[in-house]
Amino acid sequence: MYATQSAIRSVPKGNNASNAIKSLIAIHQITGQYLNKKNVQADQRNHNPNSDHGFEAFSILTEVKQLLASSGVQDGVVTPPDPGASLPGTPPSNKRNISPLTLQPAAIHSSSRPAEELSGSARPPQEAIMGLFAQMSVASAINLFKHWGVFDAIPVPHEVGDAGAEILAVGISFADLAKKVNVEEALLIRISNMLTSTSILGRSRDGLYHTPTSLCLVSTHPMSAMFSLLHTNIVSVSASLPSYFDTYGRREPVGVNHVPITFHEGKPELKYFELVNQDPKRMNEFMKAMSITHSSRVPTTGVYDMSSVLSIAKTGRETVWVDIGGGGGHIVKLFLKEYGHDGLKASQCVVHELEDVVEGASKAAQEDDVIKDVRFLPLDFHRESPIKGALIYYLRHIMRDYSDQVCANILRNVARSLCSEARILISEQITPDNPAMASQPSSQQMYAAFKDFSMLPIGGKERSLSQWRSVAAAAGLEISRVHMDPKGTSHGVVELKLAETGDEKVSA
Ligand SMILES: C[S@@+](CC[C@H](N)C(=O)[O-])C[C@H]1O[C@@H](n2cnc3c(N)ncnc32)[C@H](O)[C@@H]1O
């Protein structure tokens, strides 16, 4: 899938548009075959978060189909013109007689917005600033449509034919949609303009239809939960940031409470997770959002070299893997699926979680053959674990929720359980020390900066290797190895051991 994704991004940008068409047709066929082989359409229809590659393939296929269609190519065949007008509420016919030579580079890249466009470096300054507000308006329109249930009210395509054919061929007229969601039609159209002009929703003559992007905003899709989480944490809280820093001082938040989001919601004394946990629906949505934080872009397995863990697991060690803040066991499950045949047993794994989470998670795990023998034990990770002498204490996407001081305290507590051969693994993004000097493309730099900024409202941060080194040192630990994602994302695993001398190794 990676190869296919880079292929679509690298379709010729110059004048050679007929070669571009040929490349698109080839990608179309390959992706279609992949989808057929994997039989992922059903997963896609059900918004199965675990069918990540299927989802990517599906999105690529649809993107390719749209590009081909805009050049008059249907399912790999150039089609004659279709003079017929579109039916109300249905997408326009794709069969337009456009010469392949009219396929412009701008069209090829229309759905992937380069960072330069967002950051403004490729635009005149005033336009760049206006562009930022245009992006915010898109987020605002999505938020409103989610609140009104508009994405759920637009028919989701169910009839997926060969290689995704007909996938977008359903829609709804504005009049019917307005009735369905109880919003004045004129208002609905105005707000939808923000989303159709940015290709988030498709616009027919007098109605709307779903695109691959808008399908991710249907309430059953985990991305919809992620959108709401980010909208609350970034957009809503941003209004309170000036008064937060006026109140607490112009410095990074340091504690577990009195962070921007709890301040914004008028409950500064609460920790972020206490705030979320107060509302079961909100907690549920949070967990749903988290389910997409393991994907090909945020890898889980395949980054850390498990060979020594597996050889020790095979010796029958009682506890090998302790996943601290491991949610419903979804991450330990990925490890067991990947390494279960190589010696790692569910009974050698522990998930530590908040008491309320453990209750539901251990019950649900009984229904799951992969994790039913995993031990779910309550632990507030700001305190010491009762599990001593395990081989690996694993923290994925935990530390980034907290300040340096809180992280050092969490690590100090874990360190109390370590024997000399034990290791702590921190699985997170590793940011460059100076993003502007990094060799990464600017889109990755911006994404890294955005992820760090999105942690600020809850009092957390993303860290560079030198920041990890000082947090570890404050907890009496040192970095023994760093494993970067071999696929080149900014995700990595920082391996820590009890401090003695520095013999840190970095592998890519
Ligand atoms: C961002 S999620 C990460 C979940 C999982 N590790 C992953 O990578 O998908 C943070 C997790 O930490 C748990 N958590 C929050 N505060 C905790 C605490 N004080 N003690 C134990 N777990 C906690 C939350 O319930 C949540 O499951």
Q: Write the pLDDT tens digit of every residue in 474-500.
A: 999 999 999 999 988 888 999 999 998
Q: Round to the nearest angstrom and report the end-to-end CA distance of the chain.
A: 21
Give dist(CA 14, CA 337) in Å, integer. 45
By CB atoms closer than 10 A (0-12, 13-18, 19+), residue 176 is middle
Q: What is the pLDDT of residues 175-199, one digit of tens each?
A: 999 999 999 999 999 999 999 999 9
Give dist(CA 329, CA 351) in Å, integer. 6
Give dist(CA 65, CA 17) in Å, integer. 16
Q: What is the mean pLDDT of the chain?
A: 79
What the block records as the tokens of 147 is: 């609140």
* 20 vs 218, residue with greater confidence: 218
Count of other CB atoms within 10 angstroms of residue 250: 6
> Which residue lies with its CA nearest to atom 16 of ligand 1?
273
pLDDT at 51: 40
Give dist(CA 192, CA 203) in Å, integer. 9
pLDDT at 361: 92
pLDDT at 236: 95
What is the arithmetic mean of pLDDT over 224-234? 96
CA of 396 to the centre of ligand 1 (A): 8
pLDDT at 446: 82
pLDDT at 106: 26
φ, ψ (nearest 5 deg) of residue 27:
-65, -40
pLDDT band at 325 (very low <50, low <70, confident <90, very high): very high
> Which residue lies with its CA nearest to atom 19 of ligand 1?
380
pLDDT at 157: 79
pLDDT at 46: 41
The pick from 226, 290, 374, 493 for probing ligand 1's pocket by mutation, whose C-beta has the most ligand atoms within 8 angstroms, reads 290
In our burial notation (b when 16+ CB lie closer than 10 A, e otherwise), range 50-85 reads ebbbbbbbbbbbbbbbbbbbbbbbbbbebbeeeeee
CA of 433 to the centre of ligand 1 (A): 26
What is the arithmetic mean of pLDDT over 296-305? 84
Q: Is 357 in the pocket of ligand 1 (CB under 6 A)?
A: yes
Q: Is 290 in the pocket of ligand 1 (CB under 6 A)?
A: yes
The pick from 332, 397, 424, 455 for probing ligand 1's pocket by mutation, whose C-beta has the most ligand atoms within 8 angstroms, reads 397
Q: What is the pLDDT of residues 430-446, one digit of tens each?
A: 988 776 666 666 777 78
Using the atom order of ligand 1, give the atom closest to the CA of residue 283: 25
The beta-strand segments (E) located in 361-458 are 375-378, 392-396, 423-431
pLDDT at 292: 79
> Which residue lies with its CA nearest to atom 12 of ligand 1?
325
Torsion from C-alpha of 284, 289, 294, 298, nearest 10 degrees: -150
CA of 491 to the centre of ligand 1 (A): 18
What the block records as the tokens of 295 is: 């994907």
CA of 92 to the centre of ligand 1 (A): 46
φ, ψ (nearest 5 deg) of residue 208:
-130, 155
Give dist(CA 107, CA 63) in Å, integer. 11
Residue 56 pLDDT more than 50? no
What is the arithmetic mean of pLDDT over 241-263? 97
Q: Is 358 in the pocket of ligand 1 (CB under 6 A)?
A: no
Q: Is 354 in the pocket of ligand 1 (CB under 6 A)?
A: yes
Q: Is 355 in the pocket of ligand 1 (CB under 6 A)?
A: no
* 238 vs 489, residue with greater confidence: 238
pLDDT band at 1 (very low <50, low <70, confident <90, very high): very low
Give dist(CA 119, CA 115) in Å, integer. 6
Using the atom order of ligand 1, give the atom closest to the CA of residue 300: 8
Torsion from C-alpha of 286, 288, 289, 290, nearest 10 degrees: 90
pLDDT band at 368 (very low <50, low <70, confident <90, very high): very high
* 245 vs 36, residue with greater confidence: 245
pLDDT at 438: 64
Q: What is the pLDDT of residues 58-89, one digit of tens each?
A: 444 445 455 444 444 444 333 323 333 344 45
CA of 271 to the centre of ligand 1 (A): 12
What is the arithmetic mean of pLDDT over 264-271? 98
CA of 306 to the centre of ligand 1 (A): 23
Contact indicator for 262, 269 with CB cutoff of 8 Å = yes
> Which residue lies with its CA nearest to atom 1 of ligand 1?
397
- Run of H or E residues at 492: strand 491-498
What the block records as the tokens of 485 is: 């994602």
> Which residue lies with its CA nearest to atom 3 of ligand 1?
397
> Which residue lies with its CA nearest to atom 9 of ligand 1?
290
> Which residue lies with its CA nearest to atom 5 of ligand 1?
326
> Which residue lies with its CA nearest to atom 11 of ligand 1?
325
What domains lie within the chain, and their CATH numbers? 2-215 (no CATH), 222-290 (no CATH), 307-507 (3.40.50.150)
CA of 398 to the centre of ligand 1 (A): 6
Q: What is the pLDDT of residues 444-475, one digit of tens each?
A: 778 888 889 999 999 999 999 999 999 999 99
Give dist(CA 474, CA 323) in Å, integer. 22
pLDDT band at 173 (very low <50, low <70, confident <90, very high): very high
pLDDT at 299: 83
Cα–Cα–Cα angle for 494, 496, 502, nearest 5°? Answer: 105
Contact indicator for 107, 67 with CB cutoff of 8 Å = yes
What is the arithmetic mean of pLDDT over 309-338? 96
What the block records as the tokens of 462 is: 């993303």
Q: Is 396 in the pocket of ligand 1 (CB under 6 A)?
A: yes
pLDDT at 500: 84
Using the atom order of ligand 1, give the atom closest to the CA of residue 277: 25
Give dist(CA 86, CA 206) in Å, integer. 9
What is the arithmetic mean of pLDDT over 9-32? 45
Residue 421 pLDDT more than 60? yes
CA of 120 to the centre of ligand 1 (A): 36
What is the arithmetic mean of pLDDT over 37-42? 42
Q: Is 248 in the pocket of ligand 1 (CB under 6 A)?
A: no
pLDDT at 92: 54
Give dist(CA 153, CA 182) in Å, integer. 11
Using the atom order of ligand 1, give the atom closest to the CA of residue 427: 8
pLDDT at 123: 78
H-only helix segments in 424-464: 442-455
Using the atom order of ligand 1, give the atom closest to the CA of residue 327: 27
Give dist(CA 141, CA 150) in Å, integer. 11
> Which residue lies with its CA nearest to atom 24 of ligand 1?
325
pLDDT at 44: 43
Give dist(CA 386, CA 56) in Å, integer. 41
